[in-house]
Amino acid sequence: MNAASAGQTPLLEIRDLDVAFRDEKKKPVPAVRGASLTVYEGQTVAIVGESGSGKSTTAHAVIGLLPGTGHVTGGQILFEGKDIADARKQDIVALRGSSIGLVPQDPMSNLNPLWKVGHQIKEALVANGVATGKAADARVVELLEEAGLPDAERRAQQFPHEFSGGMRQRALIAMGLAARPKLLIADEPTSALDVTVQKQILDHLDHLTDELGVAVLLITHDLGLAAERADHLVVMYKGQIVESGPALEILQDPHHPYTQRLVASAPSLASQRLSSVEHRVEVREAALEHAEEIAQEVADSSAAFGQGRDDIIEVKGLTKVFTLPGKGPFNKTDFVAVDDLSFSLRRGTTTAIVGESGSGKSTVARMVLGLLEPTSGTVTFDGVDVAGIRGKADRLRLRRQMQPVFQNPYASLDPLFTIYRSIEEPLRVHSIGTEKEREAKVRDLLDKVSLPTSVMRRFPHELSGGQRQRVAIARALALEPEVVICDEAVSALDVLVQAQILTLLNDLQAELGLSYLFITHDLAVVRQIADDVLVMQNGRLVEAASVDQVFSSPEQEYTRALLEAIPGGSIPLGVVEAGDVLPEVTLDD
């Protein structure tokens, strides 16, 4: 039964909330404007929107944790009927943990690396007056068990770096629920996790909240995840709420142009659409046609590595074993990261390697690039063994033909380099062109990735995450490579930016005949960009097939588990299609 229809009083009610930050001149800069929403006891409400939309700011205002100069400038925040928007600091502190819990986004930066996990959870128990001494120690173990961590007593004595990402997130959930709060704010609680771990965490969170009757305010940029997990959906754009209502209704019939774009762009939803598949087929045909022309040019060139083969990369029996320190000072153990892997990348196509963290897919990418030497097996590029290329000139030629695009657009660009210098650097290193010719090339590359030339003199910190990733792609294309290796190249981006980058990669492949090796843990993204799929688990290849075969009839249970873990993948869709032309998004100032 709907809480509102039952006449229930809201647990949390936000009325016309305004939040602002002060700039360097101490002038207020609005971050949230006129936001209103309600959360009832036992209800899950999701706030969705891209980075900078104001969703986390709204949530942090509720718990009095606005960063920096942030402050509430208007409106009300009613918790159990009492306005806490202007409450005294000690009153807000009293609410934290005991009445309002928080699960922050990044588990590694929100756990103290110098303290054992159990000690940090115990702190929360002591601070909220739940338990002390041995009783608190026993309760820590119970909370970790509730959070689904096996061998909880031993885990409590470990440090955060000894936990995986999923385990750290479970520890934060245990901490957030330690004092049995009435409202739990979960701020992007699974954005950094693989889809299978994400599903486990969210399933467990659902179980705990149902069992305890806790209301959840879920902050996320993934509309599919929100629609699958929430009762009520709130969509924010540029600090304003643009749409609000039952989650399934909004997903099936979005009214606001921004919501329509979110629905059309979310990979977890778009992966179902026939129109996106048809568009992908058209792009692939254009890319293959262009690739055939390039292959002939390569075969005719005296500088070619090989003979313009159909399979531009061939991997046979690839194995990588790392030697790790054992328990004793002289003991060592072998860890097999990649185990006897074989596959090929067809020229002008995209092969995706998918799997959870630790499956070995990034290790494969580094060996293909020649950045890591295999323990055994071979990687051949256009018929030439990558490991056998020793001379500096030949290594530089290989670098020209294979270029990477890394996961984190914030870390892959030198913060001291202008955008022009970042893109121009590989041209200068390879002694390509004069200064004027290189500048013209940089301008052309920026145009290819749909960035204005005005960004050339700017620095990375002055660009958004999506713009930085476009710069990284432009830099990868500077040497006119045949193969681009994308290692989780879109996983750190909001869904709208992610969709833009995937479309850009598709279009560049059609225009330039590029071949992609696409490393990802997200099968929803794979559906939009790949021709062939390799599924890895614990260093081994467990399934290899075309993308349509993998999605329509997966052979392995592990592949089926990955598909089932895609958030929102089973939700029936409305009328908005990925290829639809949507109206521009506008808001009144």
Cα distance between the two ends of the chain: 38
pLDDT band, very low/low/confident/very high, at 178 (cuts 50, 70, 90): confident
User: One fold for both 1-99+182-263 and 274-324+337-564?
Assistant: yes
Cα(518)–Cα(133) distance, integer angstroms: 51
Over residues 213-239, mean pLDDT? 88
Question: Is residue 268 a contact partner of residue 490, using CB atoms and an 8 Å limit?
Answer: no
Q: Of 556, 543, 549, whose CA–CA distance to 531 is shortest?
A: 549
DSSP lists the bridge partners of residue 219 as 47, 187
Tell me: pLDDT of 312 over 90: yes
Q: Which two tokens stand for residue 534?
A: 């390799």
DSSP lists the bridge partners of residue 541 as 536
Any idea what the Cα angle at residue 489 is, between residues 551 and 369, rounded to 5°? 100
pLDDT of residue 540: 94
Out of 110-119, 167-176, 281-290, 557-566, pick the least confident: 281-290
What percentage of the chain exceeds 90 in pLDDT?
41
pLDDT of residue 327: 62
The amino acid at 433: G
Tell me: pLDDT of 580 over 70: no
pLDDT band, very low/low/confident/very high, at 390 (cuts 50, 70, 90): confident
Burial code (b: 16+ CB inside 10 Å, e: under 16) for 224-237 equals bbbbbbbbbbbbbb
Superfamily of domain 274-324+337-564: P-loop containing nucleotide triphosphate hydrolases (3.40.50.300)
pLDDT of residue 500: 82
Q: Of 458, 332, 481, whose CA–CA distance to 396 is shortest?
A: 481
Out of 119-123, 152-156, 222-226, 369-373, pick the least confident: 222-226
Tell me: pLDDT of 283 over 80: no
Contacts (Cβ under 8 Å, ≥6 apart) of 416: 459
Query: In the chain, how many H helices and how many E strands?
Result: 21, 20
Tell me: pLDDT of 482 over 70: yes
Q: Which two tokens stand for residue 314?
A: 């061939």
Cα(542)–Cα(557) distance, integer angstroms: 10
| CATH classification code of 1-99+182-263 | 3.40.50.300
Q: Give me the residue label for tokens 């969705």.
A: 48
Domains of the chain, by residue range, sit at 1-99+182-263, 112-180, 274-324+337-564
Relative to beta strand 183-187, strand 483-487 is unpaired
Relative to beta strand 28-39, strand 12-22 is antiparallel
Tell me: pLDDT of 294 over 60: no
pLDDT of residue 269: 57
